[in-house]
Chain A
Amino acid sequence: MTARVITITSGKGGVGKTTTTANLSAALASLNKRVVTIDADIGLRNLDLVMGVENRIVYDLVDVVEKRCKLRQAMIKHKRYPELYLIPAAQTRDKTAVSPAQMIEVINELRPDFDFVLVDSPAGIERGFRNAVAGADEVLIVTNPEVSAVRDADRIVGLIEAGERKIPMRLIINRVKPDMVRKGEMLSIDDVVDILSIKPIGVVPDDEGILIGSNRGELLNGRAGEAFRNIARRLNGEEVPFLNLDGNSNLLQRIARLFGGSGG
């Protein structure tokens, strides 16, 4: 068994990387996949909170790379999914505490034992981002349908494209409000895909449930949760039609067209 290493990144902060990582990891675990998440946001760790395991942290990623503990000791098992683990970030250090080479080393040690390694990238384009993509087989770019998030996502895509390795990228458009898109107050899915020229793997509606869930360490139900579960299934190779976020419009058909297929 050798894991697929997927990094979740965005450039801009606050677009939903950590929420996406937490929900995708849980959704993949619920598909009976063996999953480990790595919080690469050293100094600003959050993934443990969203996954509800904060109070069980003993060792973290920096302890692992500095050989203060074994990799297994830093892996925290999720309460609900026995095959889902988190390697938390250190809270007291900064991004320079880990190098891209060390990240690759950690990831390679995890590969044989898992189906998926999900790496939650920090915002920005500096060391933390480079650590997060260093060992990635695939990258998921999370963005929101607003100009600044798309601008930063574009920068990230450019940086990844300019890298030594060709890493496949897919797009997650998070926090879509169909009402606002319809009124022209928000970029449409087409607008976002047009600029970024990357195939979307999922469109997630804005959902108040995310906030409530985040604060409780619970994973999502509702429309957003469904969207994340669909993304997990697509990552797993299933053909899943996109959610129809808008009762009256032809969003679904438009997305189906983007995929060049004939989605429902």
Chain B
Amino acid sequence: MDDVIAIKGIKEGLLLTIKPDGGEWMELTTKVTSRIDQQAAFFKGARVALDVGDRPLRPHELESLQALLSRRELTLWAVVSQSATTNTTARNLGLETSLIPEHEQMETVEVDPQETGTLGIVIDHTLRSGRTIRNRGNVIVIGDVNPGAEIVAGGNVIVWGKLRGRVHAGAEGNEQAVVCALDLMPTQLRIAGYITTSPDDKRRKPRPEMAAVRDGRIVAEMWKD
């Protein structure tokens, strides 16, 4: 076996790497298909990302590979390349040009690829009135969230302090998102499409609580050890 082509499993499915100086494209695609045909049952149904390095691919070259793969019931979904030509070709065919989903590309945080849901930010101070934090991941505040401050998170919201402002967890539709605080008294609390306000009880004692969606409504549960 030569190593101008390589196929390995990644979190997103299969990664097919074709060396940019590996020779003629037609030959290479033949090598790819023969490799796949050796273990047709194993590869069947896989999602394939293609890494061609800096090789410029023209539309008909990429299309032919895509056709060869789909005939074997493999789906090409992304092409990774340092070539602008290849990127344009891939985008014109409706393919991704990065393995990282677009909304996660905004984050600069290093992510362990073995973990999911680890994206987010930590705010190490109290959020005062007028401050808004928007993040597609989880938001952790070490401090209070004062009335007039707002957090909008794609994931969970954890406040190590008093939560009195507005908070929206799972803002992109994740109903599994939760909101936790040492003192949970938000002006308004939303999880995905659900919305609630805090009960107006002046005599309540501050206590750690977690709000989550249960049976179609938001409920706050006391944290138990």
Q: Is the CB of A152 within 8 A of B129?
A: yes
Q: Which residues in B have their C-beta under 8 angstroms from that of A147?
A: 147
**Between A and B, how many residue pairs show CB distances below 8 Å?**
31
- Give CA–CA (A236, B23) in the complex, Å: 83
Q: Is the CB of A154 within 8 A of B129?
A: yes
Report whether over half of chain A's contact residues are helix, strand or loop; otherwise say mixed.
Answer: helix
Q: Is the CB of A158 within 8 A of B202?
A: no
**Given known contacts A154-B128, A157-B128, A158-B129, A195 and B146 CB-to-CB distance under 8 angstroms:** yes
Q: Which residues in B have their C-beta under 8 angstroms from that of A223?
A: none
B185 to chain A, nearest CB (A): 11
Q: Chain B interface residue count: which class? A: 10 to 19
Q: Is the CB of A151 within 8 A of B126?
A: no
B166 to chain A, nearest CB (A): 13
A237 touches B (CB below 8 Å): no
Q: Chain A interface residue count: which class? A: 10 to 19
Q: Which residues in A have their C-beta under 8 angstroms from that of B202?
A: 184
- Give CA–CA (A115, B157) in the complex, Å: 48
B131 touches A (CB below 8 Å): yes
Q: Is the CB of B126 within 8 A of A155?
A: no
Residues 128-176 (chain A) with a chain B CB within 8 angstroms: 147, 151-152, 154-155, 157-159, 161
- Interface centre among A147, A161, A195, by most B CB within 10 Å? A195
B165 to chain A, nearest CB (A): 10
Q: Which residues in B have their C-beta under 8 angstroms from that of A125?
A: 130
B148 touches A (CB below 8 Å): yes
Q: Which residues in A have their C-beta under 8 angstroms from that of B147?
A: 147, 151, 154, 195
Scan B91-127; emit 1 where CB is below 8 A from any A CB, else 0.
0000000000000000000000000000000000111
A183 to chain B, nearest CB (A): 13
Q: Which residues in A have their C-beta under 8 angstroms from that of B131?
A: 158
B118 to chain A, nearest CB (A): 28
Considering the complex, give the chain A residue whose CB is closest to the CB of B127.
A158
Show the binding face of B for A, using Cβ within 8 Å.
Answer: 125-131, 144, 146-148, 164, 202
A-B contacts, 26 listed (Cβ < 8 Å):
A125-B130, A147-B147, A151-B129, A151-B147, A151-B148, A152-B129, A154-B129, A154-B130, A154-B146, A154-B147, A154-B148, A155-B128, A155-B129, A155-B130, A155-B148, A157-B128, A158-B127, A158-B128, A158-B130, A158-B131, A159-B130, A161-B125, A161-B128, A195-B147, A195-B164, A197-B126
